[in-house]
Structures are given as structure tokens and as C-alpha cells.
Amino acid sequence: MEQAPAQALRHHPAPPQNFIRKYIFSIDHKVIGKQYLGLALLSAFVGMVLSWAMRIHLGWPDASIPLLGKLSPNGAPGGVMTPEYYLSLMTMHGTIMAFFVLTAAPLSGFGNYFLPIQVGAEDMAFPRINMSSFWITFIGFILAALTFVIPDGPPISGWTAYPPLSAVGPDAGPGQGWGQNLWGLSIACFTVASLLGSLNFLATTLDMRTKGMTLSRLPISVWGWFITAALGLLAFAVLLPCALLLILDRLAGTSFYIPGGLVLADRVQPHNGGSPLLFQHLFWFFGHPEVYLIILPAFGIIGHVLPTFIRKPLLGGWKVLTACMMLIALLSLVVWGHHMFVSGMSPYSAMLFSVPTMFITIPSIIAMLIWIFSLYGADIRFSTPALFALGFLSLFISGGIGGFFLAQPSTDSYLHATYFVVGHFHFTMGISAVFAIFAGFYYWFPKMTGRMMDETLGKIHFWASFIGMYGIFMPMHFLGFAGHVRRYSALVDDYLVPLLGTQRFISIAALVVGAVQLLFFFNFIWSYFKGKKAAENPWEATTLEWETTSPPPIDNFGGRRLTVYHGPMEYNVAGSRGDYVMQASPEPAAARAGD
């Protein structure tokens, strides 16, 4: 019995009519994708506001932030932030940004919306599991937000939550009671939702491609999501036991991570024999692939967006960039110890971890060269998505270079836990990945909403963000060279006092860049309702999402079943009607001019 006809009915036998099934508990991957993007935007706003509060406090420790005083009279009496509240804000800033923005938006947001369309399917393989993935993520977000509302506040142990600080409970400090518990539950929800999401991404890509969509014709963005989903399946599967053991130590009196003889709050803690390093190993076994889970979808989006705006395929086609992404994903599983060079781990292990960490630069640099050298001889159209994609290239070079210093134990022994690390990961995750997300937004907004975002506002957003973000995070590398320790709520050490001026510069830059992001939010909302109407294929791109209406109908292609004839990068095709051939066009791809 054939699958195809049944499949046409399987996912959307009867489109939902009522508001709840259409927009709230929807099984349509496009709605779910938009829900994820909406949650990511909300989380980004929250995370950004947290960072503003942190930056104000760092620059002007005695400043009063009235709104903060209202939110937490304990944490900021009279609006002046206490040291523990700074750490609480820092912990939640990292947690919310890393998980609910950076892991959610490019993968669960854009991936959910566009992967099925780009492979020519009607929906994800498991629409109801997809729906529950989103809502479990949402519950996770609510739990994280709840930490701000409970009396003791959010945890202060950082997004890395090292035990014993995170494990012994309230004796360790404020926020370490229910704050840490809620945090753990939030992470657990996110993890489960992520694992379920991976199943959908992988099964849909493997089993639900339309006719003619061979693996070699998949858009690079699909490869990015596919590889990320596979890596996530392995990485998140380790975070779950890691977090479970922490929860058991906290609530059930076990001693997986807590050794004996610890004295906190004048009490000898009732644990024995556990190993804080065990947590670090388990956490970073997840933690390092996590940062690649953040950047690989970005690689996919950039690899997808660039050809459209340079009107050329990428050098090496899909094969080279995809091979780079796979190699990066694979290597990311064996480098976690580079977070632990000075942790007390065996110094021999340190050298063992350093080698693959250094080697991971090779596929990263190959990918970067592919993108840059594809620009040679191109015809670059500088629309806003293109600017963000090009900005990504510059930012990722900057971020990646910092990695050379941190990958070697000898140099890392000085730079570890300084602002050099903060600059490095903000460059790679905080701004490169974010620029890829912005590129995705500006690129795909017309398809998702049927309207164009305003180009002028977009360009202002780009320029201010690009220059401003360099201004925020490049000086952090310099502070790192000076040995400025991270996670400090105030600069009291002798050698730090002269660096206050630099911190203030960074804070001002951060506030300005933050304000500019509001421009993006405004552009987004205004264009949603009032933007210029978008054509079906405003960027003259080749992939399947541009073969359907803007926005697409519920089954993505209006009852049609597309057949794919070409790869995704048939730009600059001589003899074709335009300078490009769409994937589903039966028109043959003639020889490329200048190939």
C-alpha cells in the first residue's frame, strides 16, 4: 500500500477552525516555529534587560535602578543591586540566552518553520510531539521566570551551576534553595523538549523528502539543522543524568558530587565521597557540544543566505561546507576538557584535550574560507540579510581567533576565568550566532508574514549593532589580557580599579546597542502589520520555500507535490531565463558562466 496518498491526508486531514487549535495548541510546524521564534524574542528581551542591569551596576555600583528595586526589594534595596543579586541576574542571563534564545531560535524556530518546506514535506514527521516540544519549552521558560518571583531569588551559581555551590542548598548562599531547584527543573524541561525536537528534525529529513530531493540536493540550512539535531540527541542525553544527579544530591541526600568534610554556614555538611569534578566532566561533555548546537544552525543559515545575495554557489558546493559541519560536530564531542584545564584534572588530560581543540579550528577555518572566497568574483546585493551574513563572517573570525588562546593549557592558565573568555564566547555565540538569527529574520520574514521588513530601519539596525557590538566585546579581550577576573559584581581589587573606565565604556556601548535592538523589535512588529507586501520570491532565491505563497498554506504547497530537479545553489546559470534556476523547476541547469 502506497504511503504517498495517505500522507497527503495524514497530517492535515481537516485544517483546524477554532482559535485555540489554530494559534495556541497547533500541530502545524509553521505555527510552532513562530511560537518558538516568539518565545526566543521574548527571552532575548528579558536576557538583554538583565544584561543592562548588570552593565549599569558594573560601571556605577552605587547607582539606583528603581525598577529593579520594585522587582526585588531584597535583591536591590532602594534600587541598588546587592552582590548576590548581580550573580542571580548573571546566572539567569546566561541560562535564558544560551538555552531559550540561542539554542531555540535558529534551530527550533527557523528549523521548525522551514525544514519541512525546504525538503518538500507537508509537516514534520510527528506534529503532535512537535507541539508538545514547544509547550514543554514554554513551561521551562515559565519556571526560569518564576525564579525572579520567589522570595530568595534566582540561583547565584552561574549557568554552569558547579557543585558544591549549587548542590548543598541554602547554606551556600541566597538563591540556592528553591531558586536552584526551579532552575534545574527549567533545564530539565528544555532538555526533554530538545530531545523530542531532535527526533522530528532527523526523521523528517531522512524519511519525508519529496520526490527528487536527494540528500545531495538538500539546502545547506537543512544540513545545519540535521547535524545539530543529531549532535543534540547525544549531548542533551548526557545533560539529563548530569542534572538528575545534582537534583538527587540536593534533595535526596546522595553524594555524587559533594565530598565529605565541607563546612558551610558553620555546619559540617552531611555528605561524603562525592566528586565536584565528576559534575564538571558530565556538564562539559554536554556543554561543549552545546555551543556548537548554537553555531551550527547559524552556519547553515549563513550558507543558505549568502548564495542568494552573491548570486553564486558556494565554493565546493554542499559537500565541503557540510563535511566541515559534520567534522566540527564530531570533534566537539572530544574536546570538553578545555573548560577544565586548571580544574584539578590531570595535567596529562589537559594536553590530550588541547590537541583536538586546536584541530577543530581546521574545519572552522575551511568553512570561513569557503564563505569568504565565494565572494571573489561575485555580485553582492547588499540587502539587510546580506549585511548581517557578511557581518557574521567578520564577527566569527574575531571570535574564533580568541579560541587559539583558550585552546592551549599554557595560555589558558592565565586567561581562564577572565574577561577574555567572556569576550570570546559572546563573540562566537552572543553576536555571531545572533547576526545569523537576524539574517534569518530579515531573509525569511517576507515568507512567514507576506510582508517585507523596512530596509532603512534594517540597515540602521545592522550598522549600529555591528560597530556597537565590536565596541562592547572586543575590549573584553583586552581586559582579559590585563587579568580582569570574570563574574565579579564590583571592581574592588587594586589592579581592577584603574579598569573601571573601560568597564564604563563597555556599559555605555551595551546600553546603546540595546536601545538599537528595540529598533529591530519595532521594525518587526510594525512590518508585521504595515510592511510592504512581499512577492512569492522577493530575493530571487532557489529553494523550495520560495515556490509557495507568502505565507505558505497549511499544507505548505497548496495540495501540490513538488518534484526537485536541481541542487539549492543554481545561481549564475547561463542560458536560463533569470540568473538562477529554482530547485523545483524542470528547466535544465546549463553551464555556469565563468565556471
Partner 1 sequence: MGKIFALVVVAVAIATAYFVVAHVYWMPEDISVHGHLIDEQITETTAGAGILFLLGQFVLAAFVFLYGDSKGTRKLKSWPGGAKPLIWASIVLIGIEVLTLSFIGSKAWGAVYFSPVDPNSLHVDVQAEQFAFYFRYAGPDGQFGGIHPELINEGSQNYFGLDPANDVAARDDIVVGTLTIPVNKPILLTLHSKDVGHSFFVRELRIQQDFVPGITIPIHFIATKTGKYEIVCTQLCGLGHYNMKAYLEVVTQDGFDQFLKAQSAQ
Partner 2 sequence: MSSVIYPQPAADAGAARAVRSASRPAKAVPSYTAIWLVVGSISMSFAALTSALIVRQDIGMDWKPFVLPPILYLNTLVLLASSVTLELARKELAATYLRSETRPHPRKWFYATLALALLFVLGQFLAWRNLAAQGLFLATNPSSSFFYLFTGLHGLHVFGGVLGLLYANHRSMRGLRFAAGGPLNVAAVYWHFMAILWVYLLLILRIRM
Q: Which residues bind partner 2 (CB under 8 A)?
A: 1, 3, 125-126, 195, 198-199, 202-204, 206-208, 233-234, 236-238, 240-242, 245, 248, 252-256, 260, 272-275, 277-278, 281-282, 285
* Sites for partner 1 among residues 397-416 (CB under 8 A): 397-398, 401, 404-405, 408-411, 413-414, 416
Q: Pick between residue 3 and residue 413 the one whose CB is nearest to partner 1.
A: 413
Minimum distance, C-beta of residue 87 to partner 1, in the bound complex (Å)? 6
Minimum distance, C-beta of residue 516 to partner 1, in the bound complex (Å)? 16
Instruction: Check: CB of residue 124 under 8 Å from CB of residue 111.
Output: no
What is the C-alpha separation between 72 and 85, in angstroms, rounded?
A: 9
What is the C-alpha separation between 261 and 392, in angstroms, rounded?
A: 49
**Which of the choices partner 1, partner 2, none does residue 254 contact, using the CB cut-off of 5 to 8 A by kind?**
partner 2
- Cβ neighbors of 296 (< 8 A, separation 6 or more) are 224, 227, 228, 231, 325, 328, 329
* Sites for partner 1 among residues 20-59 (CB under 8 A): none
What is the C-alpha separation between 222 and 227, in angstroms, rounded?
A: 9
Please tell me whether residue 291 binds partner 1 under the rule CB under 8 A. Answer: no
Instruction: Check: CB of residue 439 under 8 Å from CB of residue 307.
Output: no
Write the CA distances from 565 to 221, 359, 587, integer angstroms: 18, 37, 8
Q: Pick between residue 103 and residue 465 the one whose CB is nearest to partner 2.
A: 103
* Sites for partner 1 among residues 439-468 (CB under 8 A): 459, 466-467
Closest CA to 166 of 267, 236, 249: 249
Q: Pick between residue 64 and residue 349 the one whose CB is nearest to partner 1.
A: 349
By CB under 8 A, name the one of 67, 251, 268, 515 that touches partner 1: 268
**Which of the choices partner 2, partner 1, none does residue 47 contact, using the CB cut-off of 5 to 8 A by kind?**
none
Instruction: Check: CB of residue 200 under 8 Å from CB of residue 115.
Output: no
Minimum distance, C-beta of residue 215 to partner 2, in the bound complex (Å)? 13
Minimum distance, C-beta of residue 581 to partner 1, in the bound complex (Å)? 15
What is the C-alpha separation between 240 and 548, in angstroms, rounded?
A: 40
The identity of residue 278, as a single letter, is L
Window contacting partner 1 (CB under 8 A); options: 63-71, 211-219, 274-282, 330-338: 274-282
Closest CA to 243 of 133, 174, 163: 163
Grid cell listed for 394? 567578520
* Sites for partner 1 among residues 343-362 (CB under 8 A): 343-344, 347, 350-351, 354-355, 358-359, 361-362
Q: Pick between residue 32 and residue 310 the one whose CB is nearest to partner 1.
A: 310
Strands 267-268 and 263-264: antiparallel
Write the CA distances from 2 to 165, 214, 230, integer angstroms: 58, 20, 29
**Which of the choices partner 2, partner 1, none does residue 352 contact, using the CB cut-off of 5 to 8 A by kind?**
none
Minimum distance, C-beta of residue 1 to partner 2, in the bound complex (Å)? 5
**Which of the choices partner 1, partner 2, none does residue 561 contact, using the CB cut-off of 5 to 8 A by kind?**
none
* Sites for partner 1 among residues 470-509 (CB under 8 A): 470, 474, 477-479, 481-483, 485-495, 499, 502
Q: Pick between residue 8 and residue 351 the one whose CB is nearest to partner 1.
A: 351
Write the CA distances from 302 to 91, 99, 436, 510, integer angstroms: 30, 21, 6, 25
Q: Pick between residue 344 and residue 594 the one whose CB is nearest to partner 2.
A: 344
Q: Pick between residue 237 and residue 417 the one whose CB is nearest to partner 2.
A: 237
**Which of the choices partner 2, partner 1, none does residue 393 contact, using the CB cut-off of 5 to 8 A by kind?**
partner 1
Closest CA to 62 of 40, 50, 46, 77: 77
285 burial level (CB within 10 Å; 0-12, 13-18, 19+)? buried
Window contacting partner 1 (CB under 8 A); options: 202-210, 230-238, 394-402, 531-539: 394-402
By CB under 8 A, name the one of 26, 112, 157, 523 that touches partner 1: 157
**Which of the choices partner 2, partner 1, none does residue 476 contact, using the CB cut-off of 5 to 8 A by kind?**
none
Minimum distance, C-beta of residue 39 to partner 1, in the bound complex (Å)? 28
- Cβ neighbors of 498 (< 8 A, separation 6 or more) are none
Minimum distance, C-beta of residue 156 to partner 1, in the bound complex (Å)? 6
Return the bridge partners of 573, or none. Answer: 592
**Which of the choices partner 1, partner 2, none does residue 238 contact, using the CB cut-off of 5 to 8 A by kind?**
partner 2
What is the C-alpha separation between 527 and 5, in angstroms, rounded?
A: 38
DSSP 163: T
Minimum distance, C-beta of residue 416 to partner 1, in the bound complex (Å)? 6
Minimum distance, C-beta of residue 161 to partner 2, in the bound complex (Å)? 16
DSSP secondary structure, 182-217, as one string:
HHHHHHHHHHHHHHHHHHHHHHHHHH---TT--GGG
Please tell me whether residue 594 binds partner 1 under the rule CB under 8 A. Answer: yes
424 burial level (CB within 10 Å; 0-12, 13-18, 19+)? buried
* Sites for partner 1 among residues 363-392 (CB under 8 A): 365-366, 368-370, 372-382, 387, 390-391
Q: Pick between residue 536 and residue 579 the one whose CB is nearest to partner 1.
A: 579
What is the C-alpha separation between 17 and 406, in angstroms, rounded?
A: 55
The count of residues in the chain is 595
- Cβ neighbors of 40 (< 8 A, separation 6 or more) are 100, 101, 104, 105, 109, 437
Number of residues counted as binding partner 1 (CB under 8 A): 111
**Which of the choices partner 1, partner 2, none does residue 450 contact, using the CB cut-off of 5 to 8 A by kind?**
none
Minimum distance, C-beta of residue 172 to partner 1, in the bound complex (Å)? 6
**Which of the choices partner 2, partner 1, none does residue 390 contact, using the CB cut-off of 5 to 8 A by kind?**
partner 1
